[in-house]
Structure 1
């Protein structure tokens, strides 16, 4: 009998991964909002893995409250995630996946790109997604993971924030509003450089952004969380003392 896998947050993404784990023969123990992680950790102190599938707004509190016996056994999948989000907690070396498929209620998963994963449970994640015909690629280094996380952040923030101005889909953003796309992306990358404490390869990242656009040209730019993403970006910029005049202009005129 395989050890169980804990899934914290059984929303759309958590349910996809749970199905993949079940197809591999792992028992799955869900943890919902009304349940205590510590109570379940007392019963299952040594699971095969612990997937945290809560939304990005809840990830920091969930990491803080994560039972110590699980802290070196985590899989994270949130958007807007970087190493700084876990390195000052008791969590050590989590497996991290940058999810490039979209799952909405009543819909099958829609793939934009293969989802890169890095960490001790990368093979487990790869195998689980393979059960569902969802492409995944295992990374070889922390540096590769940092690039992939920054690329996903660039995609999410640029499309959402530019979408507040132009609406539409990523094809129209790329082809008809390139000046707005570039202005937003440039300031987003200023913030990402500060958050990662390194100068990221902008040429490579912009190529990666266009590759993601081409993976789903009809993808809508502005999700319902766009104003919150802009607000978080401006908060980071203020904390890190980064000048982002274009993002401020968007906030003043389109939120």
Structure 2
């Protein structure tokens, strides 16, 4: 009887240790995080509730009291800003991944491996994430400026609210071209569909993606557990398969 009671107490204690963490996830990190979340739950017992969107919008929502515990940002500046404004735990911030920009078309053979289609193609529209809200959009804008194409492309640009919507514009054919994240079109180093140009890193500032625990979750063990898990080999292997670096 005592042994049974002890087992029951262990089960109750184990359940009590499981917590939930509400995670605001940058849109470019959707696919890898959808793979990571169930593995995190299996490894720790904690549940990650995921919301996907533009980093800029998440910042505004957090400012307005949105109940997020962790931000997986598409940049480093937003978590730093939240920490400076005392809305996040400064010493929890770290770079969980470095992103890669790709010029992509849903049409096979449409994009050449040097990006010359930007200058010579007969395309009508190019999709870019809003540079004011999305770091990948800022990287795309920077690339066009360095190629001296920003002015000529401006009238044919379709702005996506975030990198997810930008991908949808290109995937649907509403835009023949789109600057997207490698994670949206590549897996295990291979292009999954269409055609693409991997934009050289020297054409845009590094896309350093930082994670941070928000102040409301400073005592939530699941929040820190998630950040710890993202630093581990299982999570990093998944990220690497989607084209992220560290």
| TM-score bracket relative to the smaller structure | 0.3 to 0.5
Q: Structure 2-normalised TM-score? A: 0.35
Q: Which has the larger share of strand? A: 2
Give 1 or 2 for the bigger CA radius of gyration. 2
Question: Greater relative contact order: 1 or 2 (C-alpha under 8 angstroms, separation 6 or more)?
Answer: 2
User: TM-score, normalised on structure 1?
Assistant: 0.34
